Amino acid sequence: MSLPRVLVVGASGAVGRELLQQLLALPSPPQIRVSTRNTAAAKGDLSDISSYHRLFAGVDRAFLYSTPEAPLGQLFTAAKDEGVQHVTLLSSLSVEDDPDGMIGTAQRKVENAIVNADLLYTFIRAGNFCSNTSLFWLPQIENVGRLWMAYPDAQSAPVSESDIASVAVIALTTDQLVNQAIPVTGPGWISHREQMRTINRARQMDGKQPIEFLIVSPEDWKSRTSDFIPEDLQNQLLRFWALGEQKKLAFQPSESVTGKPSQCFEDWLAYNKAAFLRC
């Protein structure tokens, strides 16, 4: 197969950055278009319908984040018209674990739009990101010096951005994953409580005091975090965590696709602990 011309939308995001680095590190990297220095720039705004044809012009394969708020019919029709052969979508495991929830419903909408456009696809249904601890916990810790937890024993198999990107590389440069929806998780189960203990062990090894975490009711958690997290997202997180306590969610480590060992949460933290040491 000749080298594809690849568009990476969202190259400044956590997964997009990893994907770009891994693509450029290939022995024979594809032609890459992203809005990043040292690569060809694709100037596209997914809220601007007039930009769609320009965005997709001259590429064979595209990597996209899920954008359920965009006019999806026009977006993927433009991709088809410009000759895009294959779309790799960063979707969510909520499509399988919680299909009626806000996230699952939104992600399924985007997946269906790609199928309806008659494009070849790979849907990377990523589980809970390791970095969600930074996204949802750090604002509380930095502002009040402690972490409030609802559902401390909620289980997930958090996946690293690097492992998600490795699956995307295969989708963008081979035909191995064509027309597949791929669940992607980390290598093992861990609870919120144990994630926080892992963070505190890393802090103590660096001479820092452990972060206090307090177990509260879902209602109390909503009240205490309302300054940091919008209500609709609060409700979705509580729904997801409740599912994590009631049952084990879908599980498929990235290694089953890439053949490379998946990063566990402790491994991810070793590379990303700086944010938790500043608190």
pLDDT in tens, the chain (279 residues): 578 999 999 888 899 999 999 999 999 999 999 854 334 545 456 777 888 999 999 999 999 998 888 899 999 999 999 999 999 999 999 999 889 988 999 999 999 999 999 999 999 999 999 999 988 899 889 888 899 999 999 999 999 999 999 999 999 999 999 999 999 999 999 999 999 999 999 999 999 999 999 999 999 999 999 988 899 989 999 999 998 988 767 889 999 999 999 999 999 999 999 999 987
Is the CB of residue 25 less than 8 Å from the CB of residue 48? no
- Domain count across the chain: 2
- Pair of tokens at residue 71: 């006019």
Q: What pTM was estimated for this model as a whole?
A: 0.92
Instruction: Tell which phi-psi region holds residue 135, choosing left (phi > 0), alpha (psi between -120 and 50) or beta.
Output: alpha
Is the CB of residue 2 less than 8 Å from the CB of residue 174? no
Q: Enter the DSSP assignment of 60.
A: S
Indicate if 84 and 146 belong to the same structural domain. no
Indicate if 106 and 242 belong to the same structural domain. no
pLDDT at 168: 98
pLDDT at 1: 57
Indicate if 110 and 142 belong to the same structural domain. no
Q: Is residue 255 part of a domain?
A: no
Token look-up 């409030």 returns 148
Rounded Cα distance, 160 and 263, in Å = 6
Q: Which domain holds residue 81?
A: 5-127+159-184
Is the CB of residue 265 less than 8 Å from the CB of residue 190? yes
| Span between the terminal Cα atoms of the chain, in Å | 49
Q: Which residues are 212's β-sheet partners?
A: 146
